[in-house]
A and B are shown apart, each in its own frame.
Chain A
Amino acid sequence: MISASGGLPLDGFIVFIALFIVFAALGFLGRFFRKGDETQLHEWSLAGRKLGVFLTWFLVGADLYTAYTFIAVPSSLFAKGGIYFFAVPYVAVTFAVAMLMMPKLWTISKKKGYVTAADYVTDTFSSRTLGLLIAVTGIVAELPYVGLQLVGMKAVLTVMFPVNTGNLGLIINLALVASVIILIAFTFMSGLRGVSLTALFKDMIIFITVIVVIIAVPMAYGGFQHAFAAKTAFQTLSQPTFAVGYPTLWIGSALALYLYPHAVNGSLSSNSAKNLRMSTALLPVYGIGLAFLALFGVLIYAVGPALSYVNSFGSSGGVYVVPALILYTMPSWFAGFAFLGIFIGGLVPAAIMSIASANLFIRNVVKPYKKVPLEPKRETFWAKIATIIFIFLAVGFTLIINDTFAIQLQLLAGGFILETLPALFLGLYWPKLNKHSMMVGWAVGMILDVYMMLDANKFGQIATSFYTFGKLGTSEILVFVGLFAVMVNVIISILGTFLARAMGVRNSKDEVPT
């Protein structure tokens, strides 16, 4: 509990810093964990494909449930209500999709030595051009995602300082850069091994935080009845406006998640297809924490001081919902503990996302077009360098542009990644898909996605990813743009394949250099 001027008292800061030191130590010591030759790319970036059910669960969990998720979902729920609870069906169903796709991808990747999804696409369809498209799409979609981790981390740091602190922006940016440098140092040395140990640490802190807050706050502040009574509009979804919008949003998101490079990277670090399937199956459990955190967005309406703190930032205050609620209801040492959990909840995924993007860049953008073959050791070295560059790009990106713009880019990029679905997901079960049809499908889907997003937002600031498809009675029918665009892409890919086969065209085997 704190005074009206705000800010985290000293004991909270001490807990935060002490735990950050433990986090960094785990990251550095991680290289000794099931030690491997870190000059090999699959050793450095996939932890040698040695993680069991338990560690894969924690690593992929830490990788998918990010600081941005923990800040943005409650923040959006706080502002817009139940529609943002779509995150819950999304994180249930996405793992069923992943169970169908990832173990299959793991098996073939282990056999053929693939490190990225684009490796798989390039080889399966004998097309380095298609591989390049998949890789570039992945990188473009990933970059704003890494940037948003820093937005989440900034929100935590902001709440830690009193409102009237001088040069607050500068202090926060310095703290961010310093922690990112530590992250880079241990990622460079320990690779995914270090990251997976810190993931375990992060997850423990987040779970304890969520469970304690979700029990303690309703008990102290008159229960959820009180919070929902203050915000009756949030008690349900405002049907029928979202009758189509809600399911299309969670279905589209559920299909998209495992197309992201960081999700593929985390999955490929498993030690067997069977263990990967089991740990993926159990990941909805992690979503329960997210569901509780989302409810913080309503709970805050019952906690007066936290609510007025958030409202003091005007319409951009939503990102402070979770940290403010914790700060204003919990003992300060506990707030320091919880804040560190969210803070490193941004660093851990940022590392995995950057590793995954770097792998795509080196293996699927640079390597296939180099005249001189890239030796494994040099490939790993360049992947490490590219990882550092990606992290710094993301930091620079968040320091330069404002948070609202970052969120808009993320909304847009979320649709892009879906356009890789035919090559990756359909391709896993139907490798005879025609590569040129998929390229056309990709291009049409991409253009459609961008155009509909812009049109839906009247060519202004991107605030919605719903497109209005006419009216049903008095209410509009909203559809998630990304899902619509990828459906068109899938149809083109399939019809094109039939057409090509009817004409006797098969994917040629000659384009890929070995």
Chain B
Amino acid sequence: MPNVSTVQSGQDKKRAYMIAGILMAIPFFAYIILPVYDRVDPQLFGVPLFYWYQTVWLAISAVLFGVAAFLIGRAKGGEEE
């Protein structure tokens, strides 16, 4: 088990922030490509793609953001308290 409070080097921190930034930006791109998901088919339980695509991305966003929050929190250690 890695120790969460371990202080990371500057380079590790930079990398953690970069990965977190990418993870946080992914949902934005998933939603900005409107023409891709503004369709009826394929349907899920009778719900058109337009609706279920955006709903499923809420769950994915939470996972991506959660990982990003973990990475940032670990990189910062206790410096922001």
Residues in chain A within 8 A of chain B (CB atoms): 82, 85, 88-89, 91-93, 95-96, 99-100, 103-104, 107, 110, 218, 223-228, 235-237, 239, 243, 246-247, 250, 272-274, 277-278, 280-285, 287-288, 291-292, 295
Q: A residues within 8 A CB of B61?
A: 92-93, 95-96, 284
Alpha-carbon distance A247/B34, docked complex (angstroms): 8
- B residues 21-79 near A (Cβ < 8 Å) are 24-25, 27-28, 31-32, 34-35, 38-40, 43, 45-48, 50-51, 54-55, 57-59, 61-62, 65-66, 68-70, 72-73, 76
| Number of A-B residue pairs with CB-CB distance less than 8 Å in the complex they form | 125
A250: contacting residue among B31, B51, B55, CB under 8 A = B31
Q: A residues within 8 A CB of B43?
A: 225
Q: Are B65 and A281 in contact (CB under 8 A)?
A: yes
Q: Are A282 and B38 in contact (CB under 8 A)?
A: no
A214 and chain B: residue at smallest CB distance: B45
Alpha-carbon distance A236/B27, docked complex (angstroms): 20
Q: Are A281 and B50 in contact (CB under 8 A)?
A: no
20 example contacts (A-B, Cβ-Cβ < 8 A) are as follows A93-B28, A95-B61, A96-B25, A99-B24, A227-B46, A228-B46, A236-B39, A246-B34, A247-B32, A272-B81, A277-B73, A278-B66, A278-B73, A281-B68, A284-B59, A284-B62, A285-B59, A285-B62, A288-B58, A295-B51
Q: Are B59 and A235 in contact (CB under 8 A)?
A: no
Best-buried of A107, A225, A291 by chain B (most CB within 10 Å): A291
Q: Are B27 and A93 in contact (CB under 8 A)?
A: yes
Alpha-carbon distance A104/B72, docked complex (angstroms): 12
Task: Given A88-B58, A243-B35, A273-B76, output 15 extra A-B contacts at Cβ < 8 Å.
Answer: A85-B50, A85-B54, A91-B58, A92-B27, A96-B65, A99-B24, A224-B45, A235-B50, A236-B40, A236-B48, A274-B76, A277-B73, A284-B27, A287-B58, A291-B58
Q: Are B51 and A281 in contact (CB under 8 A)?
A: no
Q: How many chain B residues touch the partner (CB < 8 A)?
A: 35
**Least distance between B67 CB and chain A CB atoms (Å):** 8
Q: Are B31 and A237 in contact (CB under 8 A)?
A: no
